[in-house]
Amino acid sequence: ADFGRAPRQREIVEVRVDLSPQNMTDGDQMDTEPIEAVAASSAPLEDEEEDCSDLATLLDSCDDLASASDKIPVLESILNEPANRYGPKASAIKERAVYAVARAYCEDNRFDDVVTLLTGTTCAAFFANITNAKTAKVVRAVLDAVCALAPDQLDMQAQICRNIISWCQTEKRSFLRQRVESKLASVLFQQDKYGEAVAMVDGLLVELKKLDDKQLLVEVHLVESKVHHGLRGMAKAKAALTASRTSANAIYVAPALQSQIDLQSGVLHCEEGDYDTAHSYFLEAFEQLDQLDDREKAVPCLKYMMLCKILDGLSKALGISA
């Protein structure tokens, strides 16, 4: 091979095709007509947005109603409107209506209707016309809102969780079912039903470890730690809390959940008599809850901090341990 030879330059041929009508044959022009017709017929029709002004007016009118019993029929009429509109605007309005009717049921002490709200006919059409991810978001939001509005109604919370779980099994919505089972395990722990809570947590962890769902693993391991602490199984409680922290290190954890992990860590260190370390964990939990302006949960952390200082001082002064 002659390496001293200059490289051959490629010849670039520019081909221009004139597609003007005067330079085309009759056959060519005939072929272009269907293409133009198809392009015109396939013009996007999504720009024609559906009119939802009547739904928005009904939803806004609920703000003027004083009693929750007066709001409920209006909100239910929005969810079951005869036009069956489920576009982006209509879905957003109906989502707000679902949250509002859940709050109205709680304010009116109609807890039986709260139990059947998500799995009954009220929201059936709405859930059938939105995505599974959207359904999971709405169900969890309603469940959290109901638990916040009626924190003492543990039987109602457990029943609504069981109804949603049964509905998820029928509809084969595993993603949502696992999250509601986690919530049910937490409610069972608050009811001191430790045996049922442990059985549910154990079955749920088997599924989650296969899926490697870090976010839910953090929550379920935390519930597991609380349940074993209630059963006075300190070794299992510490192991579950360590597993929760390990999963939390791999993902972003919301401050509210992180504060619960720190709070549980402080409780377990108190059980071991390590009050100085427990105080630091309670302080971390208090600071996060204070930033979230959650005084209801922040004040107990402050009390635990003071108790840790008292117990630490007593143990050092008297030379005793827990």
Helix intervals (H) in the chain: 26-41, 53-61, 68-79, 88-107, 111-117, 124-128, 132-149, 154-171, 174-190, 194-211, 214-230, 234-248, 255-271, 275-291, 295-318
Q: What is the pTM of this model?
A: 0.78
Q: What is the mean pLDDT of residues 212-223?
A: 95
Q: Treating both helix axes as pointing N-terminal to C-terminal, what angle do 194-211 and 214-230 enclose, rounded to 10 degrees?
A: 160
Q: What is the mean pLDDT of residues 184-207?
A: 95
pLDDT, position 276: 92
Tokens of 262: 């720190």
Give the span between the Cα atoms of 122 and 78, in whole angstroms. 10
Give the pLDDT confidence of 97-118 residue by residue, as tens digits. 999 999 999 989 888 888 888 8
Q: Which residues neighbour 145 within 8 Å (Cβ) at sequence distance 6 or greater?
A: 99, 102, 103, 106
pLDDT, position 20: 52
CA angle at 296 for the pair 291 and 302, rounded to the nearest 5°:
70
Give the span between the Cα atoms of 14 and 284, in whole angstroms. 71
CA angle at 100 for the pair 99 and 101, rounded to the nearest 5°:
95
| Selected residue with higher pLDDT from 64 and 39 | 64
- pLDDT-derived band at 83 (thresholds 50, 70, 90) equals confident
pLDDT, position 99: 93
Give the span between the Cα atoms of 202 and 219, in whole angstroms. 13
Q: What is the mean pLDDT of residues 137-143?
A: 92
Give the pLDDT confidence of 3-23 residue by residue, as tens digits. 445 555 544 445 454 545 555
Give the span between the Cα atoms of 133 and 155, in whole angstroms. 27
Give the pLDDT confidence of 254-306 residue by residue, as tens digits. 999 999 999 999 999 999 999 999 999 999 999 999 999 999 999 999 999 99
